[in-house]
Amino acid sequence: MSLSPHQPVAVFDSGVGGLTVLHELLVSLPAEDYLYLGDTARFPYGERTQRELRAFALEIAEHLLEAGAKLLVVACNAASSAALGAIERHLEQGGRDVDVIGVVAPATQLAVAGSRTGRIGLLATPATVTSGAYERAVRAADAHVQLESVACPDLAPIIQRGFPFDAHVLDTVRGYCAPLREAHADTVILGCTHYPLVAPMLQRTLGRGVTLVTSGAGVARSAERALAARGLLNPRPTEGEYRFQCTGEVDLFRALGTRFLQMPLDQVSRVELDAGVAASAQGAPA
């Protein structure tokens, strides 16, 4: 079945962090309709195995395709690192010609292009660091760039729980940033979509001369190019609609999500995902 410009762009994440990516999409491509899914019942993804992450991502991708998505945006670093190739193969095997955009490549390209010294830092979840996806992406972009990766197991859950932050959180952030300061990184990739919410704290800790790179702007540009290449940009002259789904508690998602998106979250519904897709994915290659 052919795709229509009037179908929605689908975005998913393990929780509400991907709303920082959705925010960039809403600003850059306001005419599009969007469907966002947060897998809050299984948050956080950062401690999951690569096999689990591939299974979860395929479940969600299938759900969003059935909802009519014309483009899939994997707005989760852990899922992008572990499952982007698996999703693409799943779509190809099913004969569905839908583009999939992750967050690793756009952020890496911005960081490599913007680094003055060739010393880049990465703050990410353990699953993202373990996957080696950023190391491979940096090496592919420029073999002479050095990457210092720091796994931050506590940071996304702290942010997901909401504000305010206390002295313990500040000490946690300082501990994660210390290796990057020692490595003299001049550019740091925020390798989790939750982290932009603490960008001011990170900037103060790392120093004003360090450039923080997030994936949102790069993802928006990639999405626009992908849609334009297929003639799928929505031609409407007015703003599109956006709606939300989550696998956990709706009221909690709405309350916390409003802070991340910086826009109202009106249409939120709870969904159950099809475990059958996950079961068939257990043997999927990395």
Catalytic residues: 76, 192
> Could you tell me how many residues make up the chain?
286
**Number of other residues whose CB lies within 10 A of the CB of residue 136:** 13
Which of 11, 20, 18, 286 is CA-nearest to residue 132? 286
Give me the residues paired with residue 150 across strands.
Answer: 123
What is the DSSP code (8-state) at residue 261? H
Contact call for residues 63 and 110 (beta carbons, < 8 A): no
Question: Could you identify the residue written with the tokens 């993804």?
Answer: 45
By C-alpha distance, which of 82, 171, 183 is closest to 125?
82
For 231, left (φ over 0), alpha (ψ -120 to 50), or beta?
left
Q: At residue 197, what is the residue type? A: L
- How many C-beta atoms surround the C-beta of residue 251 within 10 A? 8
Q: Please report, for the chain, how many H helices and E strands are present, in that order.
A: 12, 10
Q: How far is CA 222 from CA 29, 66, 278, in A?
A: 11, 23, 28
Residue 269: CB atoms within 10 A of its CB come to 10
Q: What DSSP string runs through 131-197?
A: HTHHHHHHHHH-TT-EEEEEE-TTHHHHHHH-SPP-HHHHHHHHHHHHHHHHTT-SEEEEESTTGGG
